[in-house]
C-alpha cells in the first residue's frame, strides 16, 4: 500500500502543472491502494471526497510541497476514521467490572482474553476468567491451560465430547456458567472478570441469541469485539452485525502478523463506533500490542514506520540523549557507539522479554522471543567486545575501517574467538541498514508526525 501511495504522490509531484486531472489521477491511484488494503469501499469513497474538499488546487499549484499536503490529508483522514472520538469504557480498579469477549469462532478470543487478563494483572488488577463457550469441544481446556500458565483464576465446565453427542446442551447452559463464574469471582473480590464466549462459523442467529442472553445475564461493563483482520472487505459487515446484537464498546483486531493489510481495522471502528484497543500479532498469547492510531496509520501508508520508530526512540532512549541521536540518524550515521549506547539503554530497562522489539531492528534476529536469557547474554557479549574497540572504531561510520587486523586485535583484547567479533559486526551492519532509513529526514519535535 505504502509503495503505491508514495508512487502516486511522486508522480503528481513531478508533474509541472497540477490541475484537476493530475489530482484526480493521484487520488484514484490512492483509492485503489486503499481498497487493496481492505479498507471498506464506502470509507474510501468518503475519504476521497473529503480530501478533495481539503486539498486546494491553488495551494498545490503555488508550489507548496504537494506531496506533503496530500499525504497529510490522507493521514489525517485515516486517523479520523480510526478515532471514533471516544475512549473505551475505562474500568475502575477495586470495583468489580465484567468484560465480555465476543467474535466469530477462530477470531482469537480465547488467545487474547488471557493476555488481556495478564496485562491488567501486571498493572495491579485482580482478574479472573470465565469460559462461557460450551459450543466448541476443548474450549474450556484451552482457556484453563492459558489461565494456569498465567496464574489467573478461571471458571468453567468441561463439556465431554460424549455428552455433546447424546445430550443437547440446553441454550441456557453458557448463560448459567457465565453467571456462576461472575458471581463467584465477585465474591472473591476480583475486579476484572472476563467472560470468554463461543463464536460459531454458522448458526449466526443462534450465536447472536446466546450472546445476547449471556450479556443480559452478566451485565458486562465492556463488550470487546474480537475480529480476525484477514477477513478483508467482510470486516465492516461482520463488525456491524455484532454491534447490532450487543453493545460493543471496544475492538481487538487479531492476526495482524499474516497477510492482513490492516484496512479491516478501519472498517471495524467505523462499523462499531468503538476504538481499537489492542492488536494481535501472532498465535502466542504474548503477541499482543496496545493499539495506537498514528503509528498504525503510518505503517498502513508505508511511511517507513516512521512514527512508530520515533515513538520507540522516545520510549527507550533517555530524553537527554534523544536530540543528539536523532541528529546523527538524520545525517545517516549509525555507529558502533550508537549501537553500544542502545544496548545499554535496553539492558537498563529490565528483563529483555519486556522490552522485546522496543527498538526497530532489535527484535526477531537479535532478540528472538522466548530466548530472553540468551539474548541478554549475547548483548552483554557484544558489549564486552566493543569495550576492546578504540574510539575511532566506535565512532566511525565507515564499514571498511574494520579490517582483518583490527578484528584480530579486538578478539585478542576481549579473549573471544574472531568468529564472535565478526558475528557482532554483522549484527551491527544489519542494524545500520534498518536505522539508516532515517537518513535525510527532518528531525521532528516530539509528538509531531515525523513522516510528513
> Which residues sit at the interface with ligand GDP, rule CB under 6 A?
103, 105-111, 199, 254-255, 257-258, 280-283, 287
Residue 112 CB, shortest distance to ligand GDP, in Å, is 7
- C-beta of 269 vs 329, nearer to ligand GDP: 269
424 is written with which cell numbers? 557482532
**Strand ranges of the sheet holding 222-228, from the earlier edge strand across to the other edge:** 154-155, 127-132, 192-197, 97-102, 222-228, 248-254, 276-280, 288-290
Task: Decide which of Mg ion, ligand GDP, none touches 312; Cβ closer than 5 to 8 Å per partner kind.
Answer: none
- List the beta bridge partners of residue 128: 193
Query: Between β-strands 276-280 and 288-290, what pairing exists: parallel, antiparallel or unpaired?
Result: antiparallel
Per-residue HEC secondary structure of 16-62 comes to CCCCHHHHHHHHHHHHHHHHHCCCCHHHHHHHHHHHHHHCCHHHHHC
- State in angstroms the smallest separation of the CB of 110 from Mg ion: 3
Nearer to Mg ion, 110 or 229 (CB): 110
The site for Mg ion, by CB under 5 A, has a size of 2
For ligand GDP, the closer of residues 258 and 399 by Cβ is: 258
String marking each residue 360-389 x if it binds Mg ion according to CB under 5 A = ------------------------------
Binder of residue 103, out of ligand GDP, Mg ion, none (CB less than 5 to 8 A by kind): ligand GDP
For residues 372 and 57, what is the distance between their CA atoms, to the nearest angstrom? 54
Q: Do the beta carbons of residue 74 and residue 51 sit within 8 Å?
A: yes
- Measured from the CB atom, the residue of 198 and 342 that comes closer to ligand GDP is 198
Q: Which is nearer to Mg ion, 109 or 337 (CB)?
A: 109
Q: Minimum Å distance from CB 110 to ligand GDP?
A: 3
Helix (H, G, I), strand (E, B) or coil at 349: coil
Q: How many CB atoms lie within 10 A of CB 419?
A: 10
- What are the contacts of 52-58 at 24+ separation with CB within 8 A? 52/23, 52/27, 55/23, 57/18, 57/19, 57/20, 57/23
Identify whether the C-beta of residue 59 lies closer than 8 Å to the C-beta of residue 93. Answer: no
User: What's the chain's Rg over C-alpha atoms?
Assistant: 26
Least Å distance, CB 152 to Mg ion, is 16
Per rule CB under 5 A, is residue 274 in the interface with Mg ion? no
For ligand GDP, which residue has the nearest CB?
280
CB 287, min distance to ligand GDP, A: 6
Q: How far is the CB of 30 from ligand GDP (least distance, A)?
A: 28
Interface pick for Mg ion out of 48, 110, 134, 238 (rule CB under 5 A): 110
Cα–Cα distance for residue pair 22/151, rounded to 1 Å = 59
- The stretch near Mg ion (CB under 5 A) out of 86-94, 104-112, 282-290, 386-394 is 104-112
User: Hunting for cell 495478564 — which residue is that?
Assistant: 118
Show contacts with Mg ion in window 400-439 (CB under 5 A).
none
Q: Report in angstroms how near the CB of residue 156 gets to Mg ion at its nearest.
A: 11
Interface mask toward Mg ion for 51-90; x: CB under 5 A = ----------------------------------------
Q: What is the 3-state composition of the chain as percent helix, strand, coil, each rounded to the nearest 5?
A: 55, 10, 35
Identify which of residues 34 and 285 has a Cβ nearer to ligand GDP in the complex: 285
Q: How many CA atoms lie within 13 A of 109 on its CB side?
A: 27
- Whole-angstrom Cα distance, residue 217 to residue 196? 14
Helix, strand or coil, per DSSP, at residue 330: helix
What, of ligand GDP, Mg ion, none, does residue 233 touch, CB below 5 to 8 Å by kind? Answer: none
Largest Cα separation within the chain, whole Å, is 78
For the bound state, the minimum distance from the C-beta of residue 87 to ligand GDP, rounded and expressed in Å, comes to 23
Nearer residue to ligand GDP within complex by CB, 200 or 381 = 200
Cβ distance to ligand GDP smaller for residue 8 or 248: 248
Window contacting Mg ion (CB under 5 A); options: 94-102, 107-115, 290-298, 380-388 = 107-115
Least gap, CB of 295 to ligand GDP (angstroms): 17
Could you give the CA distance from residue 107 to residue 330 in angstroms, rounded to a whole number?
41
Do residues 385 and 421 touch, judged by C-beta distance below 8 A?
Answer: yes
The nearest distance, CB 279 to ligand GDP, in angstroms, is: 8
Please report, as ranges, the residues that interact with Mg ion according to CB under 5 A. 109-110
Amino acid at each position: 500500500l505504502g509503495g503505491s501511495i508514495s508512487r502516486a504522490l511522486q508522480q503528481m509531484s513531478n508533474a509541472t502543472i497540477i490541475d484537476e486531472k493530475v489530482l484526480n489521477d493521484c487520488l484514484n491511484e490512492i483509492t485503489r491502494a486503499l481498497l487493496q488494503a481492505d479498507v471498506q469501499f464506502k470509507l474510501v469513497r468518503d475519504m476521497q471526497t473529503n480530501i478533495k474538499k481539503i486539498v486546494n488546487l491553488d495551494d498545490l499549484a503555488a508550489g507548496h510541497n504537494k506531496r506533503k499536503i496530500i499525504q497529510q490529508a490522507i493521514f489525517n483522514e485515516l486517523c479520523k476514521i480510526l478515532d471514533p472520538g471516544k475512549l473505551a469504557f475505562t474500568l475502575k480498579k477495586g470495583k468489580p467490572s465484567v468484560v465480555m469477549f465476543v467474535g466469530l469462532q477462530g477470531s482469537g478470543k480465547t488467545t487474547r482474553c488471557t493476555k488481556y487478563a495478564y496485562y491488567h494483572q501486571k498493572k495491579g488488577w485482580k482478574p479472573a476468567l470465565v469460559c462461557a463457550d460450551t459450543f466448541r469441544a476443548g474450549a474450556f481446556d484451552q482457556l484453563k491451560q492459558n489461565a494456569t500458565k498465567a496464574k489467573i483464576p478461571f471458571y468453567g465446565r468441561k463439556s465431554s465430547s460424549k455428552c455433546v453427542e447424546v445430550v443437547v446442551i440446553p441454550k441456557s447452559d453458557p448463560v448459567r456458567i457465565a453467571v456462576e463464574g461472575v458471581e463467584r469471582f465477585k465474591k472473591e473480590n476480583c475486579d476484572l472478570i472476563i467472560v470468554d464466549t463461543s463464536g460459531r462459523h454458522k448458526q449466526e442467529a443462534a450465536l447472536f441469541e446466546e450472546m445476547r442472553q449471556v450479556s443480559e445475564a452478566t451485565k458486562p461493563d465492556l463488550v470487546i469485539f474480537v475480529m480476525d483482520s484477514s477477513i478483508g472487505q467482510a470486516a465492516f459487515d461482520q463488525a456491524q452485525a455484532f454491534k447490532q446484537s450487543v453493545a460493543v464498546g471496544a475492538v481487538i483486531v487479531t492476526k495482524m502478523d499474516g497477510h492482513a493489510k490492516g484496512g479491516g481495522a478501519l472498517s471495524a471502528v467505523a462499523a462499531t463506533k468503538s476504538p481499537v484497543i489492542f492488536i494481535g500479532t501472532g498465535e502466542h498469547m504474548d503477541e499482543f500490542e496496545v493499539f495506537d492510531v498514528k503509528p498504525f496509520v503510518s505503517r498502513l501508508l508505508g511511511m517507513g514506520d516512521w512514527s512508530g520508530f520515533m515513538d520507540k526512540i522516545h520510549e527507550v532512549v533517555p530524553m537527554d540523549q534523544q536530540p543528539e541521536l536523532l541528529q546523527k540518524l538524520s545525517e545517516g550515521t549509525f555507529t558502533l557507539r550508537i549501537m553500544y549506547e542502545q544496548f545499554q539503554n535496553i539492558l537498563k530497562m529490565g528483563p529483555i522479554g519486556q522490552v522485546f522489539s522496543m527498538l526497530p531492528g532489535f527484535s526477531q534476529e537479535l532478540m528472538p522471543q522466548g530466548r530472553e536469557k540468551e539474548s541478554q547474554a549475547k548483548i552483554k557479549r557484544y558489549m564486552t567486545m566493543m569495550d576492546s574497540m578504540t574510539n575511532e572504531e566506535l565512532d566511525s561510520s565507515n564499514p571498511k575501517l574494520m579490517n582483518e587486523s583490527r578484528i584480530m586485535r579486538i578478539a585478542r583484547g576481549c579473549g573471544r574467538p574472531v568468529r564472535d567479533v565478526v558475528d557482532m559486526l554483522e549484527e551491527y551492519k544489519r542494524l545500520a541498514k534498518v536505522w539508516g532509513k532515517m537518513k535525510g529526514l527532518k528531525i521532528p519535535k516530539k509528538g509531531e508526525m515525523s513522516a510528513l
